[in-house]
């Protein structure tokens, strides 16, 4: 089956303006395909099989995008918000045109691994409670962690709304007035980690997500930075 489409439609769909804008670009000789300047805006091409250049820049054609972000503090995990800055605001226009949304939420003050995509099916696979995709967090906790806390995480913790969490893993990295821990949970209730510690009379003072499924945060990304995922990395999200 041919996947050929009109070049003006292809470019318009991925954010190069209206069909009229694209026609103008073509008229000005700014669009080329496999090295030949396009003259006819109705020319049909397969965007996956040809190299399309606009203003000498290669157009990376794809239907879905998958972005890994190291979310900074102070941004909300939504696509728009009347008051706060959103994680989508951090993206360049070349990504925003795909209408990505956060796959799962991190609180405004939580940092770390956040996936943004426009692939609804993937989001569903990652977020469906029955799939129990694991998430790992690094946290700083006010106060000492004792063996009882570790047991409570293992056995499930009764939250303030009466929900009992599934068995989860609490590893202590540093114990003291401010303790450092690693938590692995297989669900994602609202404010889950903070509420689990609250039920133990403890306060989370720093929270960073470091993995989802088998995908780890690329630590070379500074807070606020992001990059596209490699194909193999997309699959790790649900493993
Ligand atoms: N648990 C929380 O309490 N907050 C987050 O942002 C993620 C997990």
SS3 for the chain, per residue? CCCCEEHHHHHHHCCCCCHHHHHHHHHCCCEEECCEECCCCCCEECCCCCCEEECCEECCCCCCCEEEEEECCCEECCCCCCCCEEHHHHCCHHHHCCCCEECCCCCCCCEEEEEEECCHHHHHHHHCHHHCCCEEEEEEEEECCCHHHHHHHHHCCECCCCCECCCCEEEEEECCCEEEEEEEECCCCCCHHHHHHHHCCCEEEEEEEEEECCEECCCCCCCCCEEECCHHHHHHCCC
Q: Which long-range contacts (CB under 8 A, 24 or more apart) does 23-27 make?
A: 25/54, 25/55
Residue 191's pLDDT is what? 98
Residue 1's pLDDT is what? 53
CB 194 near ligand 1, within 6 Å:
yes
Pick the CATH number of 5-58 from 3.40.640.10, 3.10.290.10, 3.40.50.300, 3.40.50.970: 3.10.290.10
Cα-Cα-Cα-Cα torsion 38, 41, 47, 53, nearest 10 degrees, comes to 40
From 81, 107, 171, 218, active-site residue: 107
Q: Where in the chain is the domain with CATH 3.10.290.10?
A: 5-58
Query: Separation of 192 CA from ligand 1 center, angstroms?
Result: 5
Q: Which CATH architecture group holds 134-212?
A: 2-Layer Sandwich (3.30)
Q: What is the number of the ligand 1 atom nearest to the C-alpha of 106?
A: 6
Q: What is the number of the ligand 1 atom nearest to the C-alpha of 107?
A: 6
Query: Separation of 196 CA from ligand 1 center, angstroms?
Result: 10
Across the chain, which has 239 residues, the per-10-residue mean pLDDT values are: 84 89 96 95 93 92 93 97 97 89 98 98 96 97 97 98 98 98 97 98 98 98 97 94
Q: Is residue 202 a contact partner of residue 142, using CB atoms and an 8 Å limit?
A: yes
Query: Separation of 193 CA from ligand 1 center, angstroms?
Result: 5
Phi, psi of 152 (to 5 degrees): -60, -40
Residue 2's pLDDT is what? 58
CB 110 near ligand 1, within 6 Å:
yes
CB 113 near ligand 1, within 6 Å:
no
- 114, 194, 197: which to mutate for ligand 1, most atoms within 8 A of CB? 194
Residue 74's pLDDT is what? 98
Q: Token pair of 180, please?
A: 């450092």
CB 108 near ligand 1, within 6 Å:
no
Q: Spelled out in words, what is the top-level CATH class assigned to the domain 66-129+215-236?
A: alpha beta
Alpha-carbon distance of 239 to 229, in angstroms, equals 15
Residue 93's pLDDT is what? 83
Residue partners of 218: CB distance under 8 A and separation at least 6 = 68, 70, 227
Q: Where in the chain is the domain with CATH 3.30.70.580?
A: 66-129+215-236
81 is catalytic: no
Residue 141's pLDDT is what? 98
Residue partners of 74: CB distance under 8 A and separation at least 6 = 84, 85, 108, 109
């Amino acid at each position: 089956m041919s996947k050929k489409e009109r070049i003006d439609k292809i470019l318009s769909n991925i954010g190069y303006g209206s069909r009229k804008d694209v026609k103008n670009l073509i008229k000005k000789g700014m669009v080329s395909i496999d090295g030949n300047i396009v003259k006819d805006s109705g020319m049909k091409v397969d965007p996956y099989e040809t190299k399309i250049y606009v203003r000498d820049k290669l157009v990376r054609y794809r239907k879905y995008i998958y972005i890994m972000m190291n979310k900074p503090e102070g941004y909300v995990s939504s696509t728009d918000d009347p008051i706060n800055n959103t994680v989508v605001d951090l993206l360049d226009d070349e990504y925003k045109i795909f209408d990505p949304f956060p796959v799962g939420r991190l609180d405004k003050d939580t940092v770390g691994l956040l996936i943004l995509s426009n692939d609804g099916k993937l989001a569903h696979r990652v977020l469906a409670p029955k799939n129990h995709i694991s998430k790992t967090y690094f946290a700083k906790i006010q106060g000492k962690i004792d063996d009882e806390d570790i047991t409570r995480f293992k056995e499930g913790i009764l939250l303030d709304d009466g929900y009992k969490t599934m068995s989860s893993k609490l590893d202590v990295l540093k114990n003291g007035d401010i303790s450092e821990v690693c938590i692995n949970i297989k669900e994602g209730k609202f404010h889950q980690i903070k509420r689990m510690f609250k039920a133990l009379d403890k306060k989370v003072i720093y929270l960073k997500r470091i993995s989802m499924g088998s995908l780890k945060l690329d630590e070379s990304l500074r807070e606020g930075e992001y990059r596209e995922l490699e194909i193999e990395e997309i699959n790790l999200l649900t493993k």
